[in-house]
Structure 1
Amino acid sequence: MTRRAGLTAGPNASANETATRETVESNSEIIAVESETRLRYRLIHDQLKNAILRGRIAAGLVLLEGPVARIFGTSRVPVRKAFELLHEGGLLRTFEGRGYLVVGPDGPDGPDPQPLRVPLSEAALGFDEAPAPLALPSISERIYHDLEATVSIGIAFGHFRIDESEAAETFGVSRGAVREALSRLRDLGLVEKSAYSHWMCGPLTARAVRHDYELRSLLEPAALAASAPLLSRDTLNASLREVERAIANPERVDSEALQRLENSLHVDCLRCAPNKKLLETIGHAHMPLTVNYAFYNAFDLHPDTATLIEHRTVLRYLLDGDANAAADALRIHLQAGQKRTLQRLKVLAVLPEPDLPGFMQRIA
């Protein structure tokens, strides 16, 4: 009898195959659990970091793993990892007692706050209501930010076709998950589909930058003026505090923090405008922001003070209740931003092309 390649012959064949399958399934489960834990600690870290930076958690509050884990509906393992990252980032401090202390308003360089031991609740952690048990993002959401970062850097260096199959293999997901993530990037204007249904991105040219800034200079001030009366003062004050901290310590602001500052002004402050079509059109013109992302990542730089001061001016006018002055200040900021972005695009043009993954295929 002919033995088929790849199969184990003999009376133990079935047992061997079963054992192998169980081992593979067990390893897959372990990988899935580890992946889930990584996602959970990142979600907890991001939510606590945002609340601390916005001043929604009292300085000196003692954070303990158990109570925080109960609030988030998770185990202590991801909470412990989130605390460690926040400590490394200077937002939590160790002290003689158990747990960590939330830093004071002066940041990690300020004096140690007095320990504040109160029962930990949703309100104490800066949440208006109890956070739902951590729902892990879909597969497409898990790869979205990595894909966005790759495309954002790539378009500053040329014209690329994105191979869906190779991207799926790179990320270890299905083509459907990649397609869903790319569709979200298309909504932002970062990628497009060709007549032959190929995903394309770039090149980000000086002309495209000028056109997008021209559109934004016309529409964003109008959206801000319409949104201003509906904005929360607490939200504005929190944004202003974050900008003030960035101005005082710009070296602590990485590209991720800068993106958060940009979104605070150019997305969050506009979102209350009742004309949603207006906001959708503005959202399609945010591609030049990727130049700044690529620029700061390429040189490991921090934001220039002029940009931060312009942000602060807009926020102060909003807090003063002067929507028209805020809109004018935003227009001036966008005009200055166009000049800075075009200068950065020139610098990027003379840099060697970064190492991009294989699914980014250059088009001559």
Structure 2
Amino acid sequence: MPRPMIRNLPAQTAQRRYEIAEHILRDNIVGGQLPLGLVLLEGPIADILQTSRAPVQRALLRLEADGLVHRFQGRGFLVGPQDAGLTPNRTDIKSFGLVIAQHADEALQSRSSWARIYNTVERDVAGCVVFGQYRIIEIELANHFKVSRTVVRDVLSRLQERGLVRKNQSSHWIAGPLTAQTIKDHFTLRRMLEPAALKAGAAAVDRERLTELFTRLAGLEASQPVDHLEKLEELQEQMIDICVLTTANEKTRELIRNNLLPVNAAERLLRHLGLPDDPTAITEMRLIVELLMRGAVDAAAAMLETHLDASMKRMIAQMKIVAIIPGPSVTADYLTHVE
């Protein structure tokens, strides 16, 4: 896979991240590195630029206003003008090797240094909160990763935005505990947001990806449960991405993603502990996808509500099992268990 090419160009004045992302994409579109009809998605571009999705989304909107990209009946934007009759090209953008000016690369790196440790910190935190409440000590976190306190605060602020940590009355950073009640709270929000998002974005669903997901789910239903469960997390993410996150409301998409973070982290941990999943989740997802394929949008949304209710009950049942399992003997050195 081609790596992004860094060009050594004269430095420019300080820019916001969305402006940097916009200039990089604009230069690659005008220069022909990104072909007409290529589907541009926020996530893969954010990965390449090592930034969050928000600046990429804003950059794409600015490019749309200039006619360099346009929306279509699917997720993302197509490179090229609206009336060009372009066929969507879903080749992974990472295979094209974006050309990135040296000053832009340096600006992105300096602004997103928190991103290089964020996933590890998120995983460490998520791995212990089922077992109780933990304090995160800033200076120990900084020493652990050999980064500045500023970077640490950026990481903790983003974890706070996503509901994974909070500050207590003493201004200490606290993670957990993840309890049955917090799970209920997250699923209550899911039930409010996700069926409504499915309805709002139904017309923009990528029919090809929807059909592929249905075929895969239907095939797994006929296989052994062990085959279901190994792929359950990936399938859940695909179902949400294809069926729910097609709504044009970026704020709703952001709320859904952030609310899912602690839920997915808890499910991942419970799975890691060896607790069994329920293969009926595959059937529930297959029914959601099938109803959406048939144009029964209201029925698909109702089935999604049923799936969320069942998922919540399954997860709470697993939490009861965890209550009798000893906590982890080793955690990251910047995490301190609070009795």
**Residues of 2 paired with 1:294 and 1:335: CA distance?**
20
**Residues of 1 paired with 2:229 and 2:98: CA distance?**
30
For 2:143, the equivalent position in structure 1 comes to 169
Q: Does 1:127 align with 2:87?
A: no
For 2:333, the equivalent position in structure 1 comes to 358
Contact kept, 8 Å, 1:250 with 1:302, in 2: the verdict is: no
For 1:295, the equivalent position in structure 2 comes to 270
Tell which deviates more after alignment, 306-315 or 262-271.
262-271
CA gap 1:178/1:131 in 2 versus in 1, 3 angstroms: farther
CA gap 1:211/1:231 in 2 versus in 1, 3 angstroms: same
For residue 344 of structure 1, the aligned residue among 318, 322, 331 is 318
Output aligned runs, 1:138-177, within 5 Å: 138-177=112-151
Q: Classify the secondary structure of the residue corresponding to 2:114.
A: helix
Contact kept, 8 Å, 2:114 with 2:155, in 1: the verdict is: yes
**Residues of 2 paired with 1:194 and 1:336: CA distance?**
33
Cα distance, 1:233 vs structure 2: 0.7
Q: Does 1:223 align with 2:197?
A: yes
Contact kept, 8 Å, 1:253 with 1:303, in 2: the verdict is: no
**Residues of 1 paired with 2:93 and 2:211: CA distance?**
17
Q: Classify the secondary structure of the residue corresponding to 2:336.
A: strand
Q: Can you list the C-alpha shifts for 1:320-343, whole angstroms capped at 9, x where unaligned?
A: 121111101100000101110100
Q: Can you list the C-alpha shifts for 1:37-68, whole angstroms capped at 9, x where unaligned?
A: xxxxxxxxxxxxxxxxxxxxxxxxxxxxxxxx
Q: Can you list the C-alpha shifts for 1:139-172, whole angstroms capped at 9, x where unaligned?
A: 4323222222221121111111111222233234
Q: Classify the secondary structure of the residue corresponding to 2:199.
A: helix
CA gap 1:183/1:225 in 2 versus in 1, 3 angstroms: same
**Residues of 2 paired with 1:304 and 1:131: CA distance?**
40
Cα distance, 1:133 vs structure 2: 4.3
CA gap 1:219/1:128 in 2 versus in 1, 3 angstroms: same
**Residues of 2 paired with 1:178 and 1:263: CA distance?**
28
Tell which deviates more after alignment, 325-334 or 245-254.
245-254
Q: Can you list the C-alpha shifts for 1:208-250, whole angstroms capped at 9, x where unaligned?
A: 2112212222321111111111111122123334434654365
Cα distance, 1:312 vs structure 2: 1.2
Q: Classify the secondary structure of the residue corresponding to 2:135.
A: strand
CA gap 1:259/1:134 in 2 versus in 1, 3 angstroms: farther
Q: Can you list the C-alpha shifts for 1:7-56, whole angstroms capped at 9, x where unaligned?
A: xxxxxxxxxxxxxxxxxxxxxxxxxxxxxxxxxxxxxxxxxxxxxxxxxx
Q: Does 1:185 align with 2:159?
A: yes
Contact kept, 8 Å, 1:288 with 1:341, in 2: the verdict is: no
**Residues of 2 paired with 1:201 and 1:296: CA distance?**
20
Q: Can you list the C-alpha shifts for 1:54-85, whole angstroms capped at 9, x where unaligned?
A: xxxxxxxxxxxxxxxxxxx9xxxxxxxxxxxx
For 1:96, the equivalent position in structure 2 comes to none
Q: Classify the secondary structure of the residue corresponding to 1:161.
A: strand
Q: Classify the secondary structure of the residue corresponding to 1:357.
A: coil
Q: TM-score, normalised by structure 2?
A: 0.62
Q: Classify the secondary structure of the residue corresponding to 1:351.
A: coil
Contact kept, 8 Å, 2:187 with 2:312, in 1: the verdict is: yes
For 1:65, the equivalent position in structure 2 comes to none
CA gap 1:133/1:281 in 2 versus in 1, 3 angstroms: closer
CA gap 1:126/1:276 in 2 versus in 1, 3 angstroms: closer
Q: Say how many residue pairs are matched.
A: 240
For residue 210 of structure 2, the aligned residue among 236, 243, 253 is 236
Tell which deviates more after alignment, 199-208 or 323-332.
199-208
**Residues of 2 paired with 1:241 and 1:193: CA distance?**
45
Q: Classify the secondary structure of the residue corresponding to 1:149.
A: helix
CA gap 1:246/1:149 in 2 versus in 1, 3 angstroms: farther
**Residues of 1 paired with 2:124 and 2:228: CA distance?**
21
For residue 318 of structure 1, the aligned residue among 289, 292, 310 is 292
Percent identity of equivalent pairs: 31
**Residues of 1 paired with 2:148 and 2:217: CA distance?**
40
For 2:78, the equivalent position in structure 1 comes to none
For 1:11, the equivalent position in structure 2 comes to none
The letter of the residue matching 1:152 is A
Cα distance, 1:128 vs structure 2: 6.7
Q: TM-score, normalised by structure 1?
A: 0.58
CA gap 1:258/1:203 in 2 versus in 1, 3 angstroms: same
Q: Classify the secondary structure of the residue corresponding to 2:174.
A: strand
**Residues of 1 paired with 2:119 and 2:216: CA distance?**
23
**Residues of 2 paired with 1:168 and 1:229: CA distance?**
47
**Residues of 1 paired with 2:113 and 2:228: CA distance?**
29
Cα distance, 1:131 vs structure 2: 3.2
**Residues of 2 paired with 1:167 and 1:185: CA distance?**
14
Q: Classify the secondary structure of the residue corresponding to 2:273.
A: helix
